[in-house]
Amino acid sequence: MKLKKINDFYDLILDEQDSNLIKSYLLEFISEYIQYKKEYLPFGTNISFTNSILATNEKLIRSDTLREYNTQLIELNFQIKDKLTELENILSGFTASSNREIKVLFPLLEECEKFDEYPAIGAIDSLTIKVGKGRGEDHFIVVPSGDELDTKLHYQIKLTWNKAKEYCAKYLKNMNAFHEVIINFDERLGNYKGDSVGTTILIGFIQEILKFYNAQIILRPICDVAFSGGVNSNGTINRITKEITEKKVEVVFFSNCSTLVVPKVDEQAAIKKLEELNQEFPERNLKLIAVKDIDEILARRDLIEISKQKFTARAGKFVKKNWVRAVVTVLLAILFAFLFVMDFDNNPAILTTDGGILFVKNKNGKILWTKKVGLLKNANTIKRILDVNSRIFDTDNDGKNEVLFSGGLFLGDKIITQKLFCFDYKGNTRWIKSFTDKVESEREKLDVNYSIAIIDTLTFTERKSLFLISANSNSFSSAIYRVDLETGARLPGTMWCSGFVVDAMIKDIDNDGNKDILAVGVDNGFEEIVIFSYEIDTLTRVRFSTKEYLIRNFPTAELKNYIRLPKTDYDNYLQMRIPGIERGTLNDKILEKKYMFATTTNEDERMCHLWINLDYNLKDFDVIVDNEYRVIRDSLVAKGKLNPPYTDTREWIELYKSKILYWHNGKWVKREELE
């Protein structure tokens, strides 16, 4: 709520005309504002609130008054946008990532003065409970807690503890008379009040008592289920009122929980609120379950999992007493596994495709799992084309590889594009990301429909980073940026371009000890193919273009090189606005010390290429004309439609090279002017 108040205040101040007033108030609260933003997560709050925060923050980024805070504000924007994208995916019907530890969850509402006048601002919290032996009486420690524990919360703790012991007595012969119990609210969001967390505490107590006494059964909540409602002495779940119910439904709706459990007496209020929210987000899959009492919760296997404890979990004492026999057994098991490793290797190592199916295989070529995809037909023959859409990395250094995919992915009959998926070694979705940055130029405000292509990984500023390219599906903007390889979280450092970046590589191109990006693409302002490079850093910058197409509101990048390749007379004959580049052809020819890629020209489905070879000095070119290009253009020369010389001749190639332009000392020059 404090963040909302400062955000609303800043929004008003930024509309004022008095620059001194703006400067005074912006600086007065900026430290608190940044701290609150660091702690803020979009989960638990309507996305309209998060979008308002981002909109205000982008105004602050452009403010000269806060120039020294610019880097912090940009990084915070990335962090919030990244989490917002995850929430938007959930609202669009995608399954939430389930990497978090399975704990008993509950919705939490932030206390405010005028509760009914504000949107629901809350969070999903969880409990960590530890049970130990006690003396004299049961002793409860709540973390965090103020000077005095809330009366309602204290009552629920004592009541649910006794209920939990009654339940566990069915499975345990002997329990200590007294215990010391630590109840830790994991998010530590302030002083916790009220009794609606009672159901959550009771489930947590039962789970930990059974664990403490090494019972034969294990009880744990189903992943991503949130519980709400206090418990009375009869085990009935208490009413939490219509107003609170509606707020809690809203908090859980805008979270990564899949199910909300509410008291039976509040069911109708919860259903009505869910229907209201689903009108705006019809694909959000939130399940409501109304229960009358705690026995009903414990009896439902879609809420609580109860199973026998595995033998191995109770075999520790045997291993300690018979360690020699245990070591021999383990060694034999390792030998047996080694002999049959080909049959049991489930680690992804190879990717292949026929264009319609992505095959994920182990190192021996055995198919582990597949995904139905929509890729270019030549992705099965040109590895680099598959690489820009799908790669294998061990993202978290656990020895098991993950698979990243960014092409069209079928979920049922629906194809999903403009997303980057991370699958674990079993093919389960770990996270989904999209690129939704908003930028503008003189000619238009760009929409946020962006494709995603993979460049490569690099450990930079102590973060294992994945570098990506996103191109606007409906207009001209594109960006090179990086995300955290393990989590997909957005990291600082973005290069905006006024035209599509088609391919790129990471390399120290000038041997100065720092990694660079070398990229090829097109520029819509110059209407030409461009080659450019820059040193990787954490800044947000733009590659310069013509005034009409230049991306606004960011500084111009200092490029290590910037080259424009001209259109040929054949391109002009076809009235092509901008020639194309064949994706997947950028290659580092190390032995020849050249970078190579192919331009494309297409007439009546007859595709032909010029192969461009750029020397490591980033100045000298060789041009190789493929046979199809030569045949088509030479026939036009023979018919008098194009002027000589013929295509695959030194004269024509030198004519093409003479029109190449290089950015040098603040102006465009030709090759001979570089020396």
Does residue 33 contact residue 69 with C-beta atoms inside 8 Å?
Answer: no
**SS3 at position 650:** helix
Contacts 24+ apart (CB under 8 A), 559-562: 559/532, 559/533, 559/534, 559/663, 560/509, 560/510, 560/516, 560/533, 560/534, 560/535, 560/618, 561/531, 561/532, 561/533, 561/618, 561/662, 561/663, 562/530, 562/531, 562/532, 562/662, 562/663
Q: How far, in Å, CA of 62 to CA of 55, rounded? A: 11
Domain ranges of the chain: 2-91, 105-308, 315-344, 345-429, 430-673
Residue 33's contacts (CB-CB under 8 Å, 6 or more residues apart) are 3, 6, 7, 10
Which DSSP letter does residue 616 get?
A: T
Q: Residue 251's pLDDT is what?
A: 94
Provide mean pLDDT across the span 602-616: 84
Measure the CA–CA gap between 219 and 214, rounded to whole angstroms: 12
- Strand (E) positions, 473-573? 478-484, 490-497, 501-507, 516-523, 528-535, 540-542, 561-565
- Phi-psi region at 355: left, alpha or beta (left = phi > 0; alpha = psi -120 to 50): left
Instruction: Provide the phi-psi class of 168: left if phi over 0, else alpha when psi is between -120 and 50, else beta.
Output: alpha
Fold for 105-308, please state it: Ribosomal Protein S5; domain 2 (3.30.230)
Alpha carbons 524 and 377: distance in angstroms, whole number: 28
pLDDT the model gives residue 518: 96
**Average pLDDT for 98-121:** 70
Average pLDDT value for the chain = 87
- Looking at the predicted structure, is the pLDDT value of residue 318 above 50? no
User: Which position has the higher pLDDT, 616 or 9?
Assistant: 616
User: What integer pLDDT is reported at residue 339 of this predicted model?
Assistant: 47
Output 384 or 325, whichever has higher pLDDT. 384
Residue percentage of the chain with pLDDT more than 90: 51
Do residues 579 and 601 make contact, with C-beta atoms less than 8 angstroms apart?
A: yes
Mean pLDDT over residues 380-401, rounded?
84
User: Does 115 score more than 60 pLDDT?
Assistant: no
Hey, which bits of 342-388 come out as E strands? Answer: 350-353, 357-361, 367-374
Over residues 288-295, the mean pLDDT reads 94
DSSP structure class, residue 96: P
**Does 415 score more than 90 pLDDT?**
no
Residues 476-519 pLDDT 10s: 999 999 999 999 989 989 999 999 999 999 999 999 999 999 99
Q: Give how far the C-alpha of residue 134 lies from the chain's centroid of Cα atoms, to the nearest Å.
A: 45
pLDDT digits (tens, 9 = 90+) for 46-67: 988 898 888 888 888 888 788 8
Average pLDDT over residues 568-594: 89
List pLDDT tens digits, range 71-94: 788 888 888 888 888 888 889 888
**C-alpha to C-alpha distance for 38 and 80, rounded to whole angstroms:** 9
Contact yes or no for 118/159 (Cβ under 8 A): no
Question: How deeply is 442 buried, as exposed, middle or buried, from its count of CB atoms within 10 A (0-12, 13-18, 19+)?
Answer: exposed
